Amino acid sequence: MPDDASGSASAGARNAPAERLLNLVVALMATGQGLTKDAILGSVSGYREQAESGASKDALEKMFERDKESLRGLGVPIETIGDRLDPDDLRQARYRIPTAEYALAGDVAFTPAEIAVLNLAGGVWSQGSLSAEARSALRKIRSLGITVDEPIIGYSPRISLREASFAPLQRAIEQSRVVTFGYLKPGEDAPRTRTIRPLALVEFEARWHVFGQDVDAQADRTFLLSRIVGEVKITRAGFDDALREGAGDRALAGLNDLAGRQSALLEVTPGTEAALRLNRRAAPAAQGIRVPYVDVHVLADELASYGPEVRVVRPDDLREAVVRRLDAALRVHGGAP
**DSSP secondary structure letters along 75-138:** T---EEE--SS-TT--TT-EEE--GGGG---TT----HHHHHHHHHHHHHB-GGGS-HHHHHHH
Residue 133 in this model has a pLDDT that exceeds 80? no
Residue 132 in this model has a pLDDT that exceeds 60? no
In a domain, residue 321? The reply is yes
Mean pLDDT, the chain, as a whole number?
A: 79
**Residue that is last in its domain, among 100, 117, 138:** 100
Residue 192 in this model has a pLDDT that exceeds 90? yes
Pair 21, 93 in one domain: yes
Position 333 confidence tier, pLDDT thresholds 50, 70, 90: confident
In a domain, residue 90? The reply is yes
Spell out where 174-324 has E strands: 177-183, 192-204, 207-214, 219-224, 228-238, 263-268, 283-285, 288-292, 310-314
Domain containing 191 equals 166-256
- Measured distance CA(121)–CA(182) in Å, rounded: 34
Provide, rounded to the nearest whole percent, the portion of the chain with pLDDT above 70: 72
Pair 60, 77 in one domain: yes
Q: What is the mean pLDDT of residues 1-17?
A: 43
Find the CATH number of the domain harbouring 59.
Answer: 1.10.10
40-49, 83-92, 149-158, 302-311: lowest mean pLDDT where?
Answer: 149-158
**Residue that is last in its domain, among 64, 82, 100:** 100
Residue 123 in this model has a pLDDT that exceeds 60? no
List, in order, residues 6 or more apart from 108 with CB less than 8 Å away. none
pLDDT at 8: 38
> Can you give the C-alpha Rg of the chain in angstroms?
27
Position 331 confidence tier, pLDDT thresholds 50, 70, 90: confident
Using CA atoms in the order 227, 230, 236, 241, what is the torsion angle rounded to 10 degrees?
Answer: 30
Using CA atoms in the order 137, 143, 145, 146, what is the torsion angle rounded to 10 degrees?
Answer: -10
Pair 112, 44 in one domain: no
Residue pair 169/133 in contact (Cβ under 8 Å)? The answer is no
**Phi, psi (degrees; rounded to nearest 5) at 333:** -95, 15
Q: What is the mean pLDDT of residues 227-240?
A: 93
| Domain total in the chain | 4
164-168, 182-186, 212-216: lowest mean pLDDT where?
Answer: 164-168
List, in order, residues 6 or more apart from 282 with CB less than 8 Å away. 266, 289, 290, 291
Residue 222 in this model has a pLDDT that exceeds 90? yes
In a domain, residue 1? The reply is no
Angle between helices 316-332 and 296-305 (to 10 degrees): 50
Number of helices and strands in the chain (H, E): 11, 12
pLDDT tens, position by position, 266-307: 999 999 999 988 988 899 998 899 999 999 999 999 999 999
Q: What is the mean pLDDT of residues 157-176?
A: 76
Pair 138, 87 in one domain: no
Q: In the sheet where 288-292 sits, what is the strand order?
A: 283-285, 288-292, 263-268, 310-314
More confident residue, 193 or 75: 193
pLDDT at 313: 95
pLDDT at 304: 93
The Cβ of residue 303 has, within 10 Å, a number of other Cβ atoms equal to: 26
Find the CATH number of the domain harbouring 209.
Answer: 2.30.30
Which pTM does this prediction carry?
0.54
Residue type, 300: A
Pair 91, 108 in one domain: no
Residue 17 in this model has a pLDDT that exceeds 60? yes
